[in-house]
Structure 1
Amino acid sequence: MTRLGALAALLCGSTYVFGFAIMATVLGGTGYGASAADPGVIVGFLATHHGLMSVWTLTIYVVNGLALAALAIALGAVMQTDAPTLAPLVRGFGLLWATLVVAAGLVGNVGLTEVVRLQSIAPEEAARLWQLVHIVETGLGGGNEIAGGVWALLVAGAARASGLLPGPLPWFGGLVGVSGLLTLLPVFTDGAGVVFGLGYVVWFFWLAAALSRAPAKGY
């Protein structure tokens, strides 16, 4: 299970990198995701880049969520013996977060297809639909990073209790978890969200490296 966990963590980190890369390059000038973005501009962009946006949505949500589910199951298994109280919570909350992430991707992808269909015949209706889809997608997938924050804190606690991840990695995971919880407060939402996302990129790759070196267990 440690090897499965390492591969799942590596895939999770890779989906984050892909998502941030597209945000910084292709989406950088559109205002996508910003509260002040022009819905008409966004919808026009979505229609022109339907294929790319579909791949992007499926990758950052569906692929990430499935890898996250595998990671949660693997971590729960390898921590079960040494952290019997926290290991089931790591598994359960990880699967809960993974479910929300996958659901966000499915809603986003279906909504994207319908928005693109409407764009050529009713642009204003398409813009209103995109705003609705975006709210639901963001609500499920991380407008407030509570599920991911709680999970990071649980993994940090279980990692220290089990000794699976020695050194500063559990503490770093705890910081990522706290940043996720802070997104619940409007004054911290944007800044904490950036720390949460970038922190998880580092955490996933660091976790993958740590698990790849750990003794095989949990089979």
Structure 2
Amino acid sequence: MNHLQKIGGVAALSEAIIYVAAFVFFGAVWDFPVNADAMQKFAFLADNQIILSIVNLTMYVVFGIFLAILVLALYERYKNSAPVLSQIASIFGIIWVGLVIASGMIANIGLAAVIELSIKDPEQASTVWLAINSVVEGLGGGNEVVGGLWVLLLSIAALKANEFPKILNYIGILIGFTGILTIYPSDTLTEIFGLGQIVWFSWLGIIMLVKPSKLPPSNKSVLSKAV
């Protein structure tokens, strides 16, 4: 179990790094010409297709793979001390994994499709691009309800099981509620959820690496007797 917990810790830290990289890329590097006409927008996308595809792959697909590992590791950690909550949380965690990975694949396939279509019909390509973005945002790019439920339930389970620092668990509950509130489309709520996740994933990952699991009281007594 300790080995899985350490792998889960690495996965959690990797999630935080991906979040930071995404914020930096879209906040400081990506300079999409919002006010340009359709031809200029698609020319920009065509020129930057490779880098945007890599970012989508990392931000969604790779993130989803690490998330799957973390979901399993946390379920193993909580399954005895908070069985019901850990099972329900894991269901939402697995659903979130699927939504995130699907978002990335749709984003990249859609990007290639609209760039090809824009050569023949830029206006139709704009309509298709808008539809693809709506699907990606609805699945996981701008809607964090499922992820919020996962974090919320895990944090409640951690409080019940006396796992992790209470401050971290309360932060997780706050982040979870924020994610659920993104059912109402809001860039501000989504950004708050993302920034909160950086803190939560980082802290969680460090603890899982430093303290892979708690030693049950019965095992402690056995060890003391043996010594």
TM-score by length of 1: 0.89
Q: Which runs of 4+ in 1 moved over 4 A?
A: 36-41
**In the TM superposition, what is the alpha-carbon distance from 1:166 to its structure 2 partner?**
2.1
Amino acid at match of 2:7: L
Please list the CA deviations of residues 125-176 of structure 1 after superposition, one character each: whole Å capped at 9, or x if unmatched: 2212111111111111132211011111011011112222123100001111
**2:10 alignment partner in structure 1:** 7
Partner Cα distance (1:41, 1:157) in 2 = 49
**1:121 alignment partner in structure 2:** 120
**1:206 alignment partner in structure 2:** 203
Alignment of 1:73-112 (within 5 A): 73-112=72-111
Please list the CA deviations of residues 97-127 of structure 1 after superposition, one character each: whole Å capped at 9, or x if unmatched: 1110001011111001111212223222221
TM-score by length of 2: 0.86
Partner Cα distance (1:77, 1:30) in 2 = 46
Amino acid at match of 1:124: E
Greater Cα shift, 70-79 or 114-123: 114-123
- Percent of matched pairs sharing the same residue: 38
Q: 1:39 to 1:141 in 2, by over 3 A?
A: farther
**In the TM superposition, what is the alpha-carbon distance from 1:55 to its structure 2 partner?**
0.3
| SS of equivalent residue, structure 1 residue 184 | coil
Alignment of 1:5-44 (within 5 A): 5-28=8-31, 30-31=33-34, 41-44=40-43
Contact 1:39 1:128 in 2 (8 A): no
Partner Cα distance (2:36, 2:10) in 1 = 37
**2:188 alignment partner in structure 1:** 191
Contact 1:2 1:216 in 2 (8 A): yes
Contact 2:11 2:67 in 1 (8 A): yes
| SS of equivalent residue, structure 1 residue 164 | coil
In structure 1, list runs of 5 or more residues that go unmatched. none
Contact 2:107 2:136 in 1 (8 A): yes
Q: 1:92 to 1:30 in 2, by over 3 A?
A: same
Amino acid at match of 2:161: S
| SS of equivalent residue, structure 2 residue 166 | coil
Partner Cα distance (1:131, 1:120) in 2 = 17
Partner Cα distance (1:159, 1:132) in 2 = 39
Partner Cα distance (2:212, 2:85) in 1 = 20
